[in-house]
Amino acid sequence: MDQQVDLVCGAFSSDPEKARASGSDLFLPVARCYGSFEEMIRSEAALPADQRMDFISIVTPNHVHFPPAKMALEHGFHVLSDKPATFNLEEAKALQALVRKSGLLYGLTHNYTGYPLVKEARHLVASGKLGKIRKVVAEYPQGWLATRLEATGQKQAAWRTDPKRSGAAGCIGDIGTHAENLAEYITGLKIEELAADLTAFVKGRKLDDDGNILLRFKGGAKGVLHASQISVGEENNLNIRVYGELGGLEWHQKEPNTLLLKWPDQPMQVYRTANGYLSDAAKGAGRTPPSHPEGYLEAFANIYKNFANAIRARIEKRKLTKDDPALDYPKIDDGVRGMAFIEAVVMSSQKNAAWTKLDV
């Protein structure tokens, strides 16, 4: 979308023949259409430095996140991965140690952090506009798994409800982590402990399809997070509300170009994307004039763009300041926090919603 990244090779299926055929469909040279990620990483590492790939993008089910990430880092390649970072917390911590040891870049596509007005919300909180944060409400309801869709052979439903491929949690691992990450990104606060109640409402389902969680943040703020895949009629209705001592804000993924600010002594303000009154971070994440639809794919692109610019700085041996936009993408520490969140939620629910600290 930004002409910053070229697709140069890939392993596009767990079936070697399909993998190579899919590469040809994407107009890649036959020699760089690989049958497995292992073959791809070994072969690319053997190419001259100016010809090999610069980083890998992992877009697989959860159980196939850690192995290619580990192998890529060990062979000198940066990694950009779908969330959650790994299958479990143990793998996430091992990957964190490997990223630190290698000195390479690792990014995570918590794509909702890429929206312009999410960045504006983060800026407003960090600048003290809302005062000290008191309460955070994050919600992510869906309805697509209200029936046992996985029993029909639907591929996306099948792996997301399978503990061998999804991990310890279903709904919470799939979308609950987005709400958790969004809450921490906007507020700058870290969840310390939680009390969770998970349910698998659909008969025969092995993993949760609904979760309700109380949160305690470091610094004293409190929160409520719920995620659901059995909320009939809901699509991807991610939204967040943040309340401070001086004011509040509200953002909805279904209307991502609008941010609401609320005050005790004046009318509600409506912020819109691509306007000059926004912060540099928000303006830098937009591409179109005001009111033109811009959202999900562009948010992904913002993460890829920043990650690409961070790699480019490495190649050019330029040192980035901590506030450089190129460093504004979710990193391995966010991935570890996401896995710690999942495991704490599952543990808490198994103990009848007992308060449970995150193991980070």
pLDDT in tens, 45-67: 999 999 999 999 999 999 999 99
Q: What is the pLDDT of residue 98?
A: 98
The chain-wide mean pLDDT, for the chain, equals 96
What's the order of all strands across the beta sheet hosting 78-81?
55-58, 78-81, 106-108
| Nearest to 195, CA basis, from 336, 358, 49, 34 | 358
Would you say residue 353 has pLDDT above 90? yes
Residue 252 lies in a domain: yes
Q: What is the pLDDT of residue 208?
A: 98
Report in angstroms the alpha-carbon separations of 290 from 116, 272, 275, 282. 12, 7, 7, 13
Q: Residue 202 is part of a domain; what is its CATH number?
A: 3.30.360.10
Residue with tokens 């939680």: 194
Residue 179 lies in a domain: yes
Would you say residue 358 has pLDDT above 90? yes
Q: Average pLDDT in the 272-299 region?
A: 93
pLDDT confidence band for 293 (50 / 70 / 90): confident
Q: What is the pLDDT of residue 245?
A: 98
Task: Kindly tell me the sign of the dihedral angle through the C-alpha atoms of 165, 171, 175, 177.
Answer: negative
Residue 145 lies in a domain: yes
Task: Give the domain extent around 199.
Answer: 116-289+333-357
Q: Average pLDDT in the 265-285 region?
A: 96
- Phi then psi for residue 164, to 5 deg, are -75, -20
Q: What is the pLDDT of residue 10?
A: 97
Token couple for 215:
């949160």
Pairing relation of β-strands 248-252 and 239-244?
antiparallel
Q: What is the pLDDT of residue 65?
A: 97
pLDDT in tens, 218-259: 999 999 999 999 999 999 999 999 999 999 999 999 999 999
Would you say residue 294 has pLDDT above 90? no
Cα separation, 326 vs 311, whole angstroms: 9
Would you say residue 285 has pLDDT above 90? yes
Q: What is the pLDDT of residue 44?
A: 98
Residue 263 lies in a domain: yes
Q: Average pLDDT in the 15-20 region?
A: 92
Cα separation, 294 vs 309, whole angstroms: 21
Q: What is the pLDDT of residue 15?
A: 93
DSSP 316: T
pLDDT confidence band for 292 (50 / 70 / 90): confident
Q: Average pLDDT in the 330-340 region?
A: 98
Would you say residue 83 has pLDDT above 90? yes
| Nearest to 315, CA basis, from 108, 99, 77 | 77
Q: What is the pLDDT of residue 130?
A: 98
Q: Average pLDDT in the 287-304 region?
A: 91
Q: List, in sequence order, every beta strand (DSSP E) within the chain.
A: 55-58, 78-81, 106-108, 133-141, 191-199, 210-217, 222-228, 239-244, 248-252, 258-262, 269-272, 356-357
Give the number of domains in the chain. Answer: 1
Residue 306 lies in a domain: no
Helix or strand (DSSP H, E) at 128 = none
Q: What is the pLDDT of residue 127?
A: 97
Cα separation, 324 vs 319, whole angstroms: 10
Q: What is the pLDDT of residue 47?
A: 97
| Nearest to 339, CA basis, from 35, 100, 66 | 66
pLDDT in tens, 89-133: 999 999 999 999 999 999 999 999 999 999 999 999 999 999 999
Residue 247 lies in a domain: yes
Residue 187 lies in a domain: yes
pLDDT in tens, 166-218: 999 999 999 999 999 999 999 999 999 999 999 999 999 999 999 999 999 99
pTM for this one?
Answer: 0.95
pLDDT confidence band for 291 (50 / 70 / 90): confident
Token couple for 263:
């005050």
Q: What is the pLDDT of residue 335?
A: 97
Residue 353 lies in a domain: yes
